[in-house]
């Protein structure tokens, strides 16, 4: 910049990065309302990271003061996995985000002694619970902040249906019922669906974001079991 540059010239320069080279300090989490929520996200594929990505997004939203709820359809049951996963403890310590699951009773398709009828009943129970939660969102004002410690039945800004696509691909729930669920969501609800190694074509036309989490290499292939802190 020369001495001839005016104040107006300086104002036209591109703004500097928000951090200005410094690490920003965290702010207290206060209830807030998202200005641009309302999309449908799908995370599927044979790679590790679908639930991890959804939870990371949930924590990010909660960090802005938005109300988030996670409903898990198929988690746990393997002998190498504890009932209390690390994310449950982290969620309990974070304002604005909550979780529930349809029960740790085995993983569908594994020879673990679990009953097929119970898998179906649990998955369908999860689907009915998802309907209840979306119905509650319709009654809430998503344009306003929601209490961070309020029950999910009073409405949420983001709903994560973890492993619902696994349940649909394995025909534990009807894929058409998942489509009906998506179509019934309120406009301002951010809905996140995860799971499944097969492409969920039944929701393709209803999703705004679809991410295929692909596996190139996985430690399970070398005989490693699920590890505490990474897989659960």
Q: Give residue-wise pLDDT tens across range 90-99.
A: 999 999 999 9
As given in the structure block, the two tokens for residue 133 are: 């939660």
The residue-averaged pLDDT of 10-18 equals 66
Q: Does residue 53 fall inside a structural domain?
A: yes
Q: Does residue 18 fall inside a structural domain?
A: no
E strand residue ranges, 54-135: 68-72, 97-101
Per-residue pLDDT at 111:
43
Q: Give residue-wise pLDDT tens across range 172-208.
A: 999 999 999 999 999 999 999 999 899 999 999 999 9
Structural domain containing residue 206: 37-222
Q: Does residue 96 fall inside a structural domain?
A: yes
Q: Does residue 125 fall inside a structural domain?
A: yes
For residue 156, which of 65, 229, 64, 66 has the smallest C-alpha distance?
Answer: 66
Q: DSSP secondary-structure letter at 51?
A: H
Strands 158-162 and 190-194: parallel
CA atoms within 13 A on the CB side of 121: 9
Q: Does residue 232 fall inside a structural domain?
A: no
Per-residue pLDDT at 220:
74
Q: Does residue 8 fall inside a structural domain?
A: no
Q: Pick 75 or 147 by higher pLDDT.
A: 147
Lowest mean per-residue pLDDT among 3-12, 71-80, 124-133, 174-183: 3-12
Task: Quote the number of domains for the chain.
Answer: 1
Which residues lie across from 212 on neighbouring strands?
44
Q: Does residue 157 fall inside a structural domain?
A: yes
Q: Does residue 196 fall inside a structural domain?
A: yes
Q: Give residue-wise pLDDT tens across range 38-59.
A: 999 999 999 989 999 999 999 9
Which CATH number covers residue 183?
Answer: 3.40.50.300
């Amino acid at each position: 910049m020369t001495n001839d540059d005016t104040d107006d010239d300086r104002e036209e320069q591109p703004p500097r990065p928000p951090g200005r080279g410094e690490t920003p300090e965290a702010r207290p989490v206060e209830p807030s309302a998202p200005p641009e929520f309302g999309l449908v996200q799908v995370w599927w594929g044979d790679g590790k990271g679908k639930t991890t990505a959804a939870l990371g997004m949930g924590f990010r939203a909660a960090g802005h003061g938005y109300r988030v709820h996670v409903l898990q359809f198929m988690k746990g049951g393997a002998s190498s996995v504890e009932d209390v996963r690390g994310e449950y403890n982290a969620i309990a310590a974070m304002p604005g985000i909550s979780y529930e699951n349809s029960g740790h009773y085995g993983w569908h398709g594994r020879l673990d002694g679990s009953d097929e009828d119970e898998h179906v009943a649990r998955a369908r129970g999860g689907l009915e619970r998802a309907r209840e939660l979306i119905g509650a969102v319709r009654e809430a004002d998503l344009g306003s902040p929601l209490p961070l410690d309020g029950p999910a039945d009073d409405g949420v800004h983001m709903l994560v249906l973890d492993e619902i696509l696994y349940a649909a691909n394995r025909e534990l729930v009807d894929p058409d019922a998942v489509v009906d669920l998506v179509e019934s969501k309120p406009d301002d609800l951010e809905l996140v669906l995860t799971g499944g190694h097969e492409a969920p074509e039944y929701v393709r036309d209803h999703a705004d974001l679809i991410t295929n989490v692909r596996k190139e290499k996985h430690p399970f292939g070398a005989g490693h079991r699920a590890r505490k802190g990474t897989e659960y």
